[in-house]
Amino acid sequence: MHGLRFVGDDGDWEADLVLLTVDGFAVIEVKGGYVWYAAGEYHQRTPAGDKTSDLAEQALSEKYLVQRYLSRHPRWRHGAVRMAHFVALPDMDLAADADLGPGLPRSRVIAKQDLGRARDQIRRVLQGPLSRQPHRPPGPDAVDDAARLLGGVGDPQAELAALRSVRSEHLLRLATDQADVIDMVSYLSKYQVIGGPGSGKTFLAIEQARRWTKSGLRVGFIAYSRGLTTWVDRQTSDWPADMRRRLHVSTFHGLGSEWGVSASESAGQEEWELEIPRRMYELAMALPALRQFDALIVDESQDFGKLWWPALLASLADPEHGKLAIFGDGAQQIFGREGAPDLGVPPLQLRSNLRNTAEIGSLVNAMLPDSSMKLLGGRGPAVRFVQCAQDESIGAADDVAVALLEEGWSASDVVLLTTGHRHDMHRDTIARYGRDEYWALFWDAGDIFYSTVAGFKGLERPAVVIAVNGFLDLTAAHDTLLVGVSRARDQLVICGDAAEIRRFGGHELAKRLSLPPG
């Protein structure tokens, strides 16, 4: 510990450095500049001039300060502690036989050339003969107790709760400020917003929906992910009843189901991607006026196929003059679809990451083709990496998730994502409760949530654990990692094989994760 201040009725003092070890406690007075001993006094030459001090007495007094504080503390239970005092002169080289007076033998002076081996020097003194000091070393319990009493120990759960509260307020303020973007395009009936992970696209999409429904328009809010539409439903549930009636939130294929397009029991990729959108277009052309939209909002537009757009646009009461707002990010195309076609609408680009801490945001930037997103989310805990084989990644992630709970994260803060096949808990929950109830559990169960990265697109949680357990589509592996990393607001832990993450995440990601070379 450094800079420990002691305040008492007899004065105020400061100990520069205090080292607590199982061999004993060391108190170190640090003096910069050039120091020498002459005529019974210590002299120090600094850029501000020369001055004198009783250096040996200073170091000795600091040792007694620590001893007195601990011995008088009502929670100290270890009695007298083996201690020694030292002086550090980090700007000076000293010969082995240098003389700094009777109060400072060379063994108690840590000179410039000693800095790399200072711990060994201190250990030799603490393990050697020390006058008027206990023979028995303090041991680990005394070290832990002294650390608590001298340095203070916080409540991990309270600290994490404070972190979440401060970060939530900060993110809400940033997102609210960014709503000015909607003002900038208010004169446009159609526009497109392009932004990287964490740039606040969905917040803006919801804000646009609020303004359009408030003005009396019937608005369709369409996304690909059921998880995202569930979240939007929750976020808008407390709107005034008349506005909520004018807002229709649905997945693309859910919209088709409402119109009467049902998939066959053996539906494959071609049916979902091509045939159903074609049938939806035919039905959209004949929708009654009451089921048409005055405005459409498409979120996570990069997840939409080329043939999906004709059906969407045909659902507008006035396809030519109806309102359209598209929100997407071409860097998150994990489904291999084309995204939004060139509809001739003006684009607007978001250049700031609001969601992620700087520690997580730097990883996101490392994986983007243009790594210039401004990181506005503030500081947070360090990102962690757990090395393990691919087939051990889920087990490692389970251990990490449990450890996060022990550290003070609440279960509802934590999500465990897999990059490949589902976690057993994910599979079992859907089999037992069905997909709708599965997503309800995300909000209501107050437990660790399990999902794939693909299924969790557009969502976030304070703490995310990623099990890199392979990829269903190697061509989308990079974007899958990017999406997974960007889901974490405050704490991120990645469990997987360093070589695989380096291969698919890139050299810069590996460098920032401090992965071993390979």
Mind listing the pLDDT tens digit for each residue in 37-95?
A: 988 889 988 777 888 888 889 899 899 989 989 999 998 999 999 999 999 999 999 99
Whole-angstrom CA distances from 67 to 15, 78, 133, 150, 155 are 12, 11, 11, 11, 26
d(CA 399, CA 256): 41
Mind listing the pLDDT tens digit for each residue in 92-122?
A: 999 988 888 898 999 999 999 999 999 999 9
Task: Judge whether residue 288 has pLDDT over 80.
Answer: yes
Helix, coil or strand: residue 308: helix
d(CA 338, CA 230): 24
**What are residue 235's phi and psi, to 5 degrees?**
-65, -25
3-state secondary structure 224-253: CCHHHHHHHHHHHCCCCHHHHHCEEEEEHH
Please compute the mean of the pLDDT values over residues 326-345 and round it to a whole number: 71
Task: Judge whether residue 379 has pLDDT over 90.
Answer: no
Say what the pLDDT of residue 18 is. Answer: 95
Among residues of the chain, what percentage have pLDDT more than 70?
Answer: 95
Please compute the mean of the pLDDT values over residues 26-33 and round it to a whole number: 92
Say what the pLDDT of residue 332 is. Answer: 57
Say what the pLDDT of residue 160 is. Answer: 75
Task: Judge whether residue 11 has pLDDT over 80.
Answer: no
The mean-pLDDT minimum among 171-180, 206-215, 362-371 falls in 171-180
Say what the pLDDT of residue 5 is. Answer: 87
Which residue would you say has higher pLDDT here, 212 or 330? 212
The mean-pLDDT minimum among 134-138, 393-397, 444-448 falls in 444-448
Task: Judge whether residue 340 has pLDDT over 80.
Answer: no
Say what the pLDDT of residue 25 is. Answer: 96
Mind listing the pLDDT tens digit for each residue in 216-232?
A: 999 999 999 888 999 99
Say what the pLDDT of residue 369 is. Answer: 82
208 token code pair: 């646009």
Q: Sorting pLDDT into bands at 50, 70 and 90, what band is 377?
A: confident
Query: What residues have CB less than 8 Å from 447, skipping those under 6 apart?
Result: 411, 412, 441
> pTM of the predicted model, to two decimals?
0.68
Say what the pLDDT of residue 334 is. Answer: 53
Say what the pLDDT of residue 86 is. Answer: 95
Say what the pLDDT of residue 466 is. Answer: 98
The mean-pLDDT minimum among 27-36, 147-156, 319-328 falls in 147-156
The chain-wide mean pLDDT, for the chain, equals 89
Whole-angstrom CA distances from 290 to 217, 233, 261, 274 are 12, 21, 19, 27
Q: Which helix (H) or strand (E) holds 149?
A: helix 139-151
Task: Judge whether residue 24 has pLDDT over 90.
Answer: yes
First-to-last alpha carbon distance for the chain, in angstroms, is 37
Query: What residues have CB less than 8 Å from 338, skipping those under 6 apart?
Result: 304, 305, 306
d(CA 157, CA 149): 20
Say what the pLDDT of residue 85 is. Answer: 95
Query: What residues have CB less than 8 Å from 261, skipping those under 6 apart?
Result: 276, 279, 280, 283
Q: Sorting pLDDT into bands at 50, 70 and 90, what band is 337?
A: low
Mind listing the pLDDT tens digit for each residue in 468-512?
A: 999 999 999 999 999 999 999 999 999 999 999 999 999 999 999
d(CA 257, CA 244): 21
Say what the pLDDT of residue 265 is. Answer: 80
65 token code pair: 């300060």
Task: Judge whether residue 322 has pLDDT over 90.
Answer: yes
111 token code pair: 């000179």
Mind listing the pLDDT tens digit for each residue in 159-180?
A: 777 777 777 787 778 877 888 8
Q: Sorting pLDDT into bands at 50, 70 and 90, what band is 338?
A: low
